[in-house]
């Protein structure tokens, strides 16, 4: 009988030990307020990246290739005439495509279509209009992308982030005050990308382009060119959770 009582006592103690952690998990959580802070800074771009294409054709491949090379050289010469450093000139590999058309179940050879892309970075934005007109006159047949940028992007992004955090703090303080409470220390902060953006003709892959449709994943601030050419808007957005006191 004594053994039975000791066994029952042990079972009761074991049961209490299993239940206590559950009680501990049910204790009240910290009270939080979560807000989104946003900011934007407008700056004047100090460089512009232009991506052009030259395409022509001829039934003689040598003639088509030579004509394409001549036009590309003229465009590069126009850029250099405006003071563009050769290191800011980028040409892609030439593309050659024989084309045909089908008539009455026969394929008729049209010729060899030759295409080359050129990327030019102008460090003097004021020369953009003059260069674009000169490039088109020299033989450029496509404008793939125009990207207005700032070389001080990192500095302005840091400023935008700082302002976004301050905006979150101000918003949380005001909302907590209406509830008769105070905002304590930050519990968590997450930077989230603003909505996607684009400007005019989409940039098609120039390295480091700030005006591309998809911003680099490691960067969550975005850059957007206004319609009134001359300003870039750098945006930042953060989500912050504060402890309530």
In this prediction, residues 106-117 reach a mean pLDDT of: 96
Residues 163-219 have pLDDT tens digits of: 999 999 999 999 999 999 999 999 999 998 765 433 333 333 333 334 322 233 333
CATH (residue range 47-149):
3.30.70.2970
Say if residue 227's pLDDT is above 70. Answer: no
How many CB atoms sit inside 10 A of residue 1's CB? 4
Mean pLDDT, rounded, of the chain? 80
Per-position DSSP letters for 118-162, written without gaps between them: EEEEES-GGGHHHHHHHHHHHT--EEEEEEEE-TTHHHHHHHHHH
3-class SS at 243?
strand
Say if residue 102's pLDDT is above 60. Answer: yes
> Binning pLDDT at 50, 70 and 90, where does residue 18 land?
very low
In this prediction, residues 57-70 reach a mean pLDDT of: 97
> Considering the domain 29-44+153-244, what is its CATH architecture?
2-Layer Sandwich (3.30)
pLDDT of residue 3: 52
pLDDT of residue 20: 46
Domain ranges of the chain: 29-44+153-244, 47-149
pLDDT of residue 197: 36
């Amino acid at each position: 009988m004594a053994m039975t009582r000791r066994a029952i006592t042990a079972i009761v103690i074991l049961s209490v030990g299993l239940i206590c952690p559950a009680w501990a998990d049910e204790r009240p959580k910290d009270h939080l307020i979560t807000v989104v802070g946003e900011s934007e800074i407008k700056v004047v771009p100090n460089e512009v990246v232009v991506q052009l294409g030259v395409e022509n054709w001829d039934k003689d491949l040598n003639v088509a290739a030579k004509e394409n090379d001549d036009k590309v050289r003229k465009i590069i010469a126009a850029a250099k005439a405006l003071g563009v450093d050769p290191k800011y000139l980028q040409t892609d590999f030439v593309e050659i495509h024989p084309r045909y058309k089908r008539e009455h179940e026969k394929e008729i050879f049209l010729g060899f279509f030759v295409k080359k892309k050129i990327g030019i970075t102008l460090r003097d934005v004021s020369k953009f209009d003059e260069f674009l007109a000169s490039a088109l006159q020299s033989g450029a047949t496509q404008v793939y992308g125009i990207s207005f940028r700032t070389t001080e992007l990192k500095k302005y992004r840091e400023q935008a982030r700082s302002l976004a955090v301050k905006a979150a703090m101000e918003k949380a303080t005001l909302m907590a005050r209406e509830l008769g409470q105070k905002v304590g220390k930050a519990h968590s902060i997450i930077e989230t990308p603003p909505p996607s953006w684009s400007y005019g003709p989409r940039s098609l892959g120039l390295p480091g382009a700030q005006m591309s449709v998809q911003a680099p994943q490691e960067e969550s601030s975005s850059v957007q060119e206004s319609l009134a050419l001359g300003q870039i808007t750098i945006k930042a957005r953060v989500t912050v959770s504060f402890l309530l006191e």
